[in-house]
Chains A and B, each alone.
Chain A
């Protein structure tokens, strides 16, 4: 009996152990389930048959939810996606207008991270922490590249958006031109240092000027930039800080008109002399066309330039407007002079506080932002979404997309480690608008010092109107972030 009893007890212990192991295994499997699968499974229950409306930047960006992620989400969950395409310049306005109207017609949003303090203060964004914990997404959020994760996700320590676009300025240069022996010898003789990727803006000016002098007769300029004010505003913000400038002093008085600001403004205008005529009117596309046609040896822009220059367009009809690259295989990638590229604009995914489907909207953005799905999205040739997770930079598929893709991803990764944030305050657009107008006056030929004095005055007036202490607290919180100023 004893033996039998002991045997029964032993058998019971075995069954119990087996049950425990199976339970643990099930829990393990549950935990191992990807964030994408977790979101999709949950959405099946609460969203099937419903429609989520998401605001997305109009144009190529929208092809992601229209052609790829939207249909895939619907296939996996039965939940439809309606995309509201809005031009970037109108996105803030539309989001705010909808929030004020309270119609609940937007569920999920693409927001530029610099807008977050404004949108949060207005109450337009839903705080996401409770959903992040409920659906176990916190661990995957930690795998977003630190610059984006630490700087573009939270306001006052609370999560309001998932950084979803590794927008960063890269420096593109013609490797074949920089490798020419005749140019290298002449440059060395003239400037007493080798012709190489410029590390400082002084070097950039000298190299640009030299290359224009040597190559203009063949139709190539030393450099070209997009110079329309909205783009140049980001370039100024970067360069001003790289040169040691601070936007405000300890009393929150604008110091954008410091000697550093005036120096940067003056140099920027002088550089136009070695760039193609009319560069002041160059936007994203004009500058892209110039570089792709081999008419400039150096440029700075967002990551898609690198893909387009390499000819990574796939057979997408949507990209037929991109000029055929004549420089594929000849383009090198580096960080802009100073080594601290602007994390210009970018996008984060958020949930509208006025949405009637907040949880479903959250699940959709978790799914979009998850490692599994985002890796596919950043490789879509047409969507302009750029790598932003650590794993994106080392993804074997991405590394093999074109011969120099590894260099491209290495440069992007380096940018994600040293990038500088856009200035982000209460009513940021007022500060940006003053700067944009200042830049347009710069191209019109006005005195840099006078322009920047006016900009500083407008900034101070705006600060006074918002409330000095209130704005100072927001600025100090921004300035304390790792990507605010070069360390």
Chain B
């Protein structure tokens, strides 16, 4: 009886033994840094202070007294709120356009996807040249249209700096949306579309009642991925403005970098990083629930 019981125990737990090492590695890689981050955020490590004594919730108290942090968060949200819908709408429009068979379709798609392949810092540097007041083509073109030399300081003028960043960001990442949505649109049930056409449904009605619900799960994932990316936005902004003028375009990633690696406010930076982790986790959970609902 005992041997039978032991055998049954082994059999029922064998699967856990198999996945155990993988889970251990995942916890080690994923959870340990978070625990360490939490630990550091309660210490007082700075450029000159290497003592690991605990300072209580001092760094978290400082979070609430730091207007620059909240401004950086606001800038991040604003950039996300502008760029994400633009990328979604443009990506969807382009996907719709390339859904039908066109001559040279494959070549066009390959060309359209090129920006995604480029490193964001290179993309930022390229756009920095595009916006260059002396040699950049943008000012030249505007000058031709205006009929006189036009010098717009895209990365200095407070009214132009956000459009400049959004343009660079949208240029680089719209193709990503396009690719995902093109795949999703290709999988929409043709019979439903044909039935709608036979019933005389308008294009808009078909789109909102059949196409959109069908691509909603993929679209949600695309929004989730791009939303998270935008929240971590660093390279393009760094290459274009380094967060300036002043701190007008400083995103939370740039703020964290400056605090952590320029000013060595190690423990405070850990607290900021944890705040971002918490905010993003909440956002991800919310979006995932919506994806579930969409299913």
Chain A residues close to B by CB (< 8 Å): 92-93, 96-97, 100, 118, 121-122, 229, 277-278, 280-281, 286, 426-427, 429-430, 433, 437-438, 440-441, 443-446, 451
In the complex, which residues of chain B have a beta carbon less than 8 angstroms from the beta carbon of A440? 156, 244-246
Residue contact B48 to A444, C-beta cutoff 8 Å: no
Residue contact A427 to B47, C-beta cutoff 8 Å: yes
CB within 8 Å for A437 and B246 given contacts A277-B133, A427-B263:
yes
For the A-B complex with A96-B264, A427-B263, A440-B244 known, give 8 more contacts whose Cβ atoms are closer than 8 Å.
Answer: A229-B244, A277-B133, A286-B134, A430-B263, A440-B156, A444-B158, A445-B158, A446-B246
The answer, yes or no, to whether B153 is at the interface (CB within 8 Å) is yes
Residue contact A121 to B245, C-beta cutoff 8 Å: no
Chain B residue nearest to A454 (CB atoms) is B246
Chain A residue nearest to B248 (CB atoms) is A444
In the complex, which residues of chain B have a beta carbon less than 8 angstroms from the beta carbon of A93? 261-262
Residue contact A443 to B264, C-beta cutoff 8 Å: no
Chain B residues close to A by CB (< 8 Å): 47-48, 50, 132-134, 149, 151, 153, 155-158, 244-248, 258, 261-264
Chain B residue nearest to A436 (CB atoms) is B244
CB within 8 Å for A443 and B246 given contacts A96-B264, A122-B47, A277-B151:
no
Q: Most B CB atoms within 10 A — which of A278, A286, A430?
A: A278
Residue contact A441 to B48, C-beta cutoff 8 Å: no
**Min CB distance, A219 to chain B, in Å?**
13
Residue contact A433 to B258, C-beta cutoff 8 Å: yes
Residue contact B244 to A280, C-beta cutoff 8 Å: no
Residue contact A429 to B263, C-beta cutoff 8 Å: yes
In the complex, which residues of chain A have a beta carbon less than 8 angstroms from the beta carbon of B258? 433
**Min CB distance, A321 to chain B, in Å?**
15
Chain B residue nearest to A286 (CB atoms) is B134
Main SS class of interface, B = loop
Residue contact B262 to A443, C-beta cutoff 8 Å: no
In the complex, which residues of chain B have a beta carbon less than 8 angstroms from the beta carbon of A281? 132-133, 153, 155-156
**Min CB distance, A89 to chain B, in Å?**
9
Q: How far is the CA of A426 from the CA of B132 in the complex (A)?
A: 36
**Residue from the list B47, B155, B261 in contact with A118, Cβ < 8 A:** B47
In the complex, which residues of chain B have a beta carbon less than 8 angstroms from the beta carbon of A445? 157-158
Offer 26 A-B interface pairs, CB within 8 angstroms, sorted by A: A92-B262, A96-B264, A97-B261, A121-B48, A277-B149, A280-B153, A280-B156, A281-B133, A281-B155, A286-B134, A427-B47, A427-B48, A427-B263, A430-B263, A433-B262, A433-B263, A437-B244, A438-B246, A441-B244, A443-B156, A444-B157, A444-B158, A444-B245, A445-B158, A446-B246, A451-B246
In the complex, which residues of chain B have a beta carbon less than 8 angstroms from the beta carbon of A427? 47-48, 263
In the complex, which residues of chain A have a beta carbon less than 8 angstroms from the beta carbon of B158? 444-445
CB within 8 Å for A278 and B133 given contacts A426-B48, A427-B263, A444-B158:
yes
In the complex, which residues of chain A have a beta carbon less than 8 angstroms from the beta carbon of B246? 437-438, 440-441, 444, 446, 451
Q: How far is the CA of A277 from the CA of B263 in the complex (A)?
A: 34
Q: How far is the CA of A320 from the CA of B262 in the complex (A)?
A: 33
**Min CB distance, A153 to chain B, in Å?**
21
Q: How far is the CA of A125 from the CA of B128 in the complex (A)?
A: 37
Chain A residue nearest to B257 (CB atoms) is A93
In the complex, which residues of chain A have a beta carbon less than 8 angstroms from the beta carbon of B132? 281
Chain A residue nearest to B247 (CB atoms) is A437
Q: How far is the CA of A199 from the CA of B101 in the complex (A)?
A: 73
Residue contact A96 to B47, C-beta cutoff 8 Å: yes
**Min CB distance, A353 to chain B, in Å?**
13
Q: How far is the CA of A451 from the CA of B246 in the complex (A)?
A: 9
Q: How far is the CA of A441 from the CA of B263 in the complex (A)?
A: 21
Chain B residue nearest to A93 (CB atoms) is B261
Residue contact A122 to B48, C-beta cutoff 8 Å: yes
Chain A residue nearest to B243 (CB atoms) is A437
Residue contact A118 to B48, C-beta cutoff 8 Å: yes
Residue contact A278 to B244, C-beta cutoff 8 Å: no
Q: How far is the CA of A438 from the CA of B261 in the complex (A)?
A: 21
Q: How far is the CA of A445 from the CA of B50 in the complex (A)?
A: 41
Q: How far is the CA of A440 from the CA of B158 in the complex (A)?
A: 10
In the complex, which residues of chain B have a beta carbon less than 8 angstroms from the beta carbon of A286? 134
**Min CB distance, B126 to chain A, in Å?**
16
Residue contact B157 to A278, C-beta cutoff 8 Å: no
In the complex, which residues of chain B have a beta carbon less than 8 angstroms from the beta carbon of A433? 258, 262-263
In the complex, which residues of chain A have a beta carbon less than 8 angstroms from the beta carbon of B264? 96
Chain A residue nearest to B246 (CB atoms) is A441
Q: How far is the CA of A430 from the CA of B156 in the complex (A)?
A: 22
Chain A residue nearest to B150 (CB atoms) is A277
Chain B residue nearest to A121 (CB atoms) is B48
**Min CB distance, A283 to chain B, in Å?**
11
Q: How far is the CA of A383 from the CA of B151 in the complex (A)?
A: 34
Q: How far is the CA of A93 from the CA of B158 in the complex (A)?
A: 30
Q: Most B CB atoms within 10 A — which of A92, A286, A429, A437?
A: A437
In the complex, which residues of chain A have a beta carbon less than 8 angstroms from the beta carbon of B50? 100
**Min CB distance, A451 to chain B, in Å?**
8
